[in-house]
Structure 1
Amino acid sequence: MGRGTYALVRVAVVVRAPAGWLWWPGVLAAGIGTLLPGLTGRRIGLLAGAALFLIAAAVVFAVRRGRYLTLAQEATRAGTSVFLQDRAVTIRTRRRALRWWLLLAFLAAVGSSFAVPAAGGLLLAGLGAGLWAKALWLGRWEHAHDALLWVRTDWVPRGRPAGPDVRAYQTTGPAAGDAGPGGAKR
């Protein structure tokens, strides 16, 4: 890249990228867990899993919302010398960075079914649902303000678009990039 140029990645896409890879393995692990009787029994496992699903989804949705809003309200307009990273590239790099953690989480969810059937899988699915809901919330903000939120790629090495390394967001018009508000495909 030339002097003064840098790449930007969509905030909603970074949030949404691991959601599907948490949701579907979570549902699969919960399905496998219902086949096992477990130590507590299926009924208690499913009730505990449903509670964990709701709690995890609510916590993931609520965490750092204030920081997201602060960064979004203080966002500046992106310059003409920036590169906008494609949605597919963002999703591929995020999933590649998280693949071993997601595999370990899936195995832990299936393994926990021997004690509490389906609870670990539903917890995993709740994490994915919370991330998906947060991406939709960001999409509603983008739609209401007629702007897309972007962050520098070098500020989100661990995939935390509202982490301590993120100093500011930048905005573009709603036609920029290849993802719609909320990080969904156009």
Structure 2
Amino acid sequence: MSDTRERILDTASRLFHEQGYAATGVSTILREAGVNSGSLYHFFPSKEALLIGVLERYRRLLDPVLQGPLEARVADPLERVFALMSWYRAGMEATGCRLGCPIGNLALEVSDTYPEVRPLIDENFRGWTTGIRRWLTEAGDRLPASCDRDSLAVFILTVMEGGLMQARASGSLEPFDRSVAVLRAHVDHLVQEAGRPSGGQGDSAS
């Protein structure tokens, strides 16, 4: 893949996250990426095409950049859930609760204005739930047989995204921390119901 194309995508991803899609001008992307307009439009005929490229890139990098390294660091599949929460919490803390989740931010901003990107946003979220579902499957009989792992994976993602959104809105990590604490209590309850030890707090991805 072209280094220039990747540099444009990397720059656009960062700027869309920091400033929002609508507030980021093409001229800013060109300046920050160090490319001319001909190079950008060679790869992306419009700003909307660039947005699609950014969303496709997020999905492509989800496993090798986020899920894979987290799985390598944290052996306990249930603790990976909370290592993921810790990773996002560290990012929010580092930015003063200003940025939130890049996919969640774009979902709120562009889903209605650009309905053609909605399937890509959904695909990114489903990439997360698929990975989380895999961890829940690896947990085996540490979770009760009655546990709906598909629904639990969706619930975990909802806790993460909702907590991040509320933390960003309030400028405080408290909503995120309270949401994760309730999730921890729920998972611990499921483990106890299955009659297996929870494994404690485990490793952190932060």
TM-score range, shorter-chain basis?
A: 0.3 to 0.5
TM-score if structure 1 supplies the norm length?
Answer: 0.32
Question: Greater helix percent: which structure?
Answer: 2
Question: Greater strand percent: which structure?
Answer: 1
TM-score if structure 2 supplies the norm length?
Answer: 0.30
Higher RCO (CA-CA < 8 Å; seq separation 6+):
1
